[in-house]
Amino acid sequence: MRTLSFVLALLGGPALAHEFWIEPGDYTIGVQTMIQGDLVNGQDFQGGRQPYLTQRFVRFQMFSDGRLAPVGGRNGDNPAVNVAPLGEGLHVLSYQSTPATLDYESWEKFQNFIDHKGFGDVRTRHDARGLPDSGFVEVYTRYSKSLVGVGSAGGSDVRTGLETEIVAMTNPYTDSLSSGMQFQLFYGNAPRANARFEVFEKAPNGAVNVTFYQTDGNGRVAVPVKSGHSYMADAVVLREPSAALAANTGAVWETLWANITWAVP
């Protein structure tokens, strides 16, 4: 794992991407307490709460100790998450959005996104395909998770069937964090090696810092954490869309956004 040599203190200024995440009201709750949380779209670990809308997701599920249940609700519910836990232990919320599109009116905006996410020389690929410098479309899908500790909070994160997925190898509510939170990033069935791994850290006073890491050859990364802080990690795949998806959306690029949230007691 390699950490890039800079940390961004996000107290203002232009943001280069919009994340989508699950933000529980409380990351640790009692067994008799409902799991409540928001679907949030925004920047810098701050954003607008989105209602529960079935047309916006392909799957929305909850996993715990080998059990699986849908995250149910009624269209328009806000908070979007309001479900009874499956019992005591670590609960993993998992959400896959339906694809959505974004129009790029200039290459500069797309290049800023490329640089921010560490995609490398996309311009050469773009030009080789004969694509325009402006007026092109990206299609994107969100693959978001959150870790909620119920009662004793024991258990482990699992792969939940997302095409790209961040899996926590550490339970933040029960395990030693002296070596940080350990993660493995997947794309399809394989670990995603040497990928940018962006971590947002929110302090109790609401200040947010961002650090860029890089996964190792096995898709693993370690993230130092602090007690009383909440966290979001994000890793994005950029690829050419399938012929069918391109035909349906008009997109020339596709992004897949893996995201996970957790907190440190």
What is the full per-residue pLDDT of the chain (265 aa) written as tens digits? 444 433 333 333 334 469 999 999 999 999 999 999 999 999 999 999 999 999 999 999 999 999 999 999 999 999 999 999 999 999 999 999 999 999 999 999 999 999 999 999 999 999 999 999 999 999 999 999 999 999 999 999 999 999 999 999 999 999 999 999 999 999 999 999 999 999 999 999 999 999 999 999 999 999 999 999 999 999 999 999 999 999 999 999 999 999 999 999 9
pLDDT at 5: 31
pLDDT at 140: 99
Q: How many CB atoms lie within 10 A of CB 169?
A: 14
pLDDT at 17: 67
pLDDT at 13: 32
Print the domain residue range for 65: 16-191+220-263
164 in a structural domain: yes
Q: Nearest-5° angle of CA 172, CA 157, CA 48? A: 75
113 in a structural domain: yes
pLDDT at 15: 40
**Residue 14, exposed/middle/buried by CB under 10 A (0-12, 13-18, 19+)?**
exposed
Report the distance separating Cα 217 and Cα 191, nearest Å: 8
Report the distance separating Cα 265 and Cα 260, nearest Å: 17
201 in a structural domain: no
pTM to 2 decimals?
0.94
pLDDT at 12: 33
pLDDT at 171: 99
Decide if 49 contacts 40 (C-beta within 8 A): yes
**Residue 5, exposed/middle/buried by CB under 10 A (0-12, 13-18, 19+)?**
exposed
34 in a structural domain: yes
199 in a structural domain: no
207 in a structural domain: no
Q: How many CB atoms lie within 10 A of CB 97?
A: 19
Distances from the Cα of 211 to the Cαs of 74, 117, 200, 203, 215, in angstroms?
A: 37, 12, 7, 14, 13
6 in a structural domain: no
Decide if 61 contacts 159 (C-beta within 8 A): no
Decide if 36 contacts 84 (C-beta within 8 A): no
The two structure tokens encoding residue 64: 């715990």
Amino acid letter for position 21: W
The two structure tokens encoding residue 175: 């395990």
Please identify which residue in the block is written with the tokens 């328009």. 76
Decide if 90 contacts 146 (C-beta within 8 A): no
Total domains, the chain: 1
210 in a structural domain: no
B/e letters for 231-245, b = 16+ CB within 10 Å, e = fewer, are: bbbbbbbbeebeeee
Please identify which residue in the block is written with the tokens 């007690």. 227
